[in-house]
Amino acid sequence: MSKPATIHGIIKGARAYLPEINEERIFMAYEYAKRAHDGQVRSSGDPYIQHPLEATKILLELKPDETTIIACLLHDVLEDTDMSSEELEKAFGPNVLLLLKGMEKLSTVYYRGKERQVENLRKMFLAMAKDIRVILIKLCDRLHNMKTLQYIPEHKRERIAQETLTVYAPIASRLGIYRIKNELEDLCFKFLYQEEYDRLNDELSNDLGVKKGIIDSSKKILKKTINKADIDGDVEGRVKHVYSIFKKLKRKGKNYAAELYDIFALRIIVDTEEQCYQTLGIIHKNWKPLTRRFKDYIAVAKTNGYQSLHTTLIGLCPDIHQQPIEIQIRSREMDEIAKFGIAAHWHYKEEDGMSIVLDQNKLSWVQNLVNLHESLKSNSEFIESLNVDVFQDRIFILTPKGDVFDLPTGSTAIDFAYAIHTDIGHKCKGAKMNDKIVSLDQPLENGKIVEILTRNQPNPNRYWLSFIKTSHAKNRIKQWFAAQGSDDMVKVGKDMINNHLKRYNQPPLSPDLNILANYSEKKLNMKQREALLEKVGNGSVDVISVIKAVLPLDKIMKKTTEKNMAKDILTEGVKFDEDSEVLITGEKGYQTQIATCCMPKPNDDITGYITKGRGVTIHKSDCKTIQGLDQKRFIKVSWSTQTTNEYEVKLLLRRQSRIGLLRDVAAVFADNELPIIDLENRRTAGTDVGEMIITANFDGLDTLNSIIEKLEQIPGVFGVKEID
């Protein structure tokens, strides 16, 4: 058993790779943590301060920067003690506090036994962390907790071990930190499958002498062979870790490790990539390889940046002449990455001002990290690019039962309800976020628990269409209205148009619906007018588009009153705003604010409403919120010519499924700095052909045409077109 960690040992370990480290600052962090945790005791009986010391000792293997070491020593202070954020920021600065806040957020992420939600839970974990260093601290924190899990009450052990195996170990694997990943898995195996662990561990222990002899003998033979070729390489050997052997037994349907030939591996570590291939040629010349077992992870690296050559030889060790033995060949740099993953890249100075964040196209399972590594000039640049805000356009919402749902940023309770199930969406009547009632149009917050309140019968509301974000919810709502009876929809459509006519001080529809006759270029007959009402009622035709066609806005807002309204604004103590993007009656200078209920964007048709003391609130012309308001306070507004000409477009891609297609499509938008608002992927049953619907913002027709042209050049894309 290793000696207990001490602050002096940690400072000594840090000084070995950070010679200019501020030792006083590290010691001060220890003193703060010790004072904050004074009187607290771990389940093991140790003083609580021993836990952050042990976690930091583990962290030192990853060679972190000074800020990360300090944050690790203090990582439980915000959550478990009375020490304030202000005190910590004053003592250690905003960068340390940022990491501590990240640790505090991650304390809300739990695995609740829903296997189908595991991937979303991992994504949520990463999205909430924001900074890779937070994840590394959390992994070290969890590893020490797993090492002391025997002291936890038995009923909690299984939950913690299962959560670790399901969430933490895979994240360590995806970041390439195999040392931590392997140790976490073995500890989880011990507590989750005690009987299998004991049996397999006993078998390996009993056979350890034989295996060690084979490994030692093979190491000497390999070392001698490569030295003859003037290659100065190191040869290592090990029995594979016990959980990986257990998984292999399950996969192959076997019961005993003796039935496996590849439970130990030899590793040759050389100086350069070129020597890796030279070494491969030498050992293949001397021993027979199993060709089906050869893997070149140098030419095609794993998604977490792992690189090695893997081969399996027959006849290497005289003691077991026909026993296949697995060999890994890698450079010293590759070996560092294999052990420490992303952390192997971060040998940098504190003054570099690292913000370790993970770009959307550069997370391990989105794009191969090795491509990123090759494209960057330095380790510092690599770390700067690693932004864990991969999901910056996504939020992760939990149900009260622990299911995790991945939604676009800005999604509401209605979007969430339809994501759970169409029936839940149809019956939604309210929502709670972390047990507090919220309005249905309020954007949900990342990591919150949201409960949907339902009624007995379905009753969707067309108003929802004005604020929901996801095409899935919009389509389900429109489908519901389209499925309702024709007569009912005609009546609904008539009521909707009458409400708008009333708003503009116009008479209601006459029995012959005469005003609708002028809706299109052709005169509509009575049957066509009723069909139009039905389309308005079921949501397939927007009511405001009908109003605009039959009743132009210049008849609704009379110019004679607009100038008077502008004068009214000035008399209400409203400040001028020269930077306003909106013109009031054609003039700049009036204070405006964008309505949060409908959030109009440039190119939306807009209406102004005078708000006493606050200037003019800008609404979409079809915003439901302004219905029934005082007509005298409406005023004509328009977007300034300087406003960015940005508009939302939906593109339909016909495509053939292939690995990497989604990445290539996303890269076209990322390269042009265009955000993807929504993406829907669907496949024709029984085929590999399907469609992808992408919603994005464009700043002009030239950009749109350029993007369509680039998308059509992607292998596997048959065609691209704009849709409504």
Given the residues 31, 38, 79, 722, select the one marked as catalytic: 79
Phi-psi region of 54 (alpha: psi -120 to 50; beta: other; left: phi over 0): alpha
pTM for this prediction: 0.53
The residue type at 567: K
**From 80, 203, 393, 699, the catalytic residue:** 80
- Name the amino acid, one letter, at 438: V
Task: Name residues whose C-beta falls within 8 Å of residue 511's C-beta, 6 or more positions apart in sequence.
Answer: none
CA distance 585 to 594: 17
Question: Would you say the C-alpha torsion 33, 38, 39, 44 has a positive or negative sign?
Answer: positive
Strand pairing report for 404-408 and 295-296: unpaired
Tell whether domain 7-192 is in CATH 1.10.3210.10.
yes
Annotated catalytic, 80? Answer: yes
d(CA 68, CA 141): 13
CA distances to 276, 321, 465, 483, 604 from 676, in Å? 42, 58, 20, 31, 19
Fold exhibited by the domain 204-341: Beta Polymerase; domain 2 (3.30.460)
One-letter amino acid of 25: R
Residue 564's contacts (CB-CB under 8 Å, 6 or more residues apart) are none
> Where are the CATH 3.30.70.260 domain residues in the chain?
647-723
Q: Please report how many Cα atoms fall inside a 13 Å half-sphere around the Cα of residue 420, on the Cβ side.
A: 24
What pLDDT score does 483 carry?
73
Residue written as token pair 């591996």: 265
CATH top-level class for 394-461? alpha beta
CATH class of the structural domain 647-723: alpha beta
C-alpha–C-alpha distance, residues 383 and 372, integer Å:
11
Blockwise average pLDDT, block size 10, the chain, 724 residues: 88 92 95 94 93 95 91 92 92 92 75 59 60 86 94 88 86 82 93 90 76 83 91 87 86 76 84 92 88 83 81 77 82 86 53 36 34 36 38 71 79 92 90 87 86 87 82 85 73 80 79 82 82 78 78 50 45 46 60 75 78 76 81 76 60 80 80 77 73 81 76 79 75
| Alpha carbon 724 to chain centroid, angstroms | 28
Give the type of residue at 369: L
Q: Exposed, middle or buried: residue 65 (CB in 10 Å: 0-12, 13-18, 19+)?
A: buried
What count of other Cβ atoms lies within 10 Å of the Cβ of residue 105? 18
Is 86 a residue of the active site?
Answer: no
* DSSP secondary structure of 77-104: HHHHSS--HHHHHHHH-HHHHHHHHHHH
According to CATH, where is 3.10.20.30 located in the chain? 394-461
User: How many angstroms separate the CA atoms of 125 and 110, rounded?
Assistant: 9
> How many other C-beta atoms lie within 10 A of the C-beta of residue 629?
12
Is 613 within 8 Å of 572 (Cβ atoms)? yes
Nearest to 687 by CA among 655, 643, 719, 652: 655
Q: Where in the chain are all domains bearing CATH 3.30.460.10? A: 204-341
Q: Dihedral angle at the C-alpha atoms of 600, 601, 603, 605, nearest 10 degrees?
A: 0
Q: How far is CA 121 from the centre of its chain?
A: 9
Torsion of CA 479, 484, 486, 490, to 10 degrees: -90
Contacts of 15 (CB under 8 A, 6+ apart): 21, 23
Q: Is 433 helix (H, G, I), strand (E, B) or coil?
A: strand
203, 258 Cβ separation under 8 angstroms: yes
Residue 377 is predicted with a pLDDT of: 33
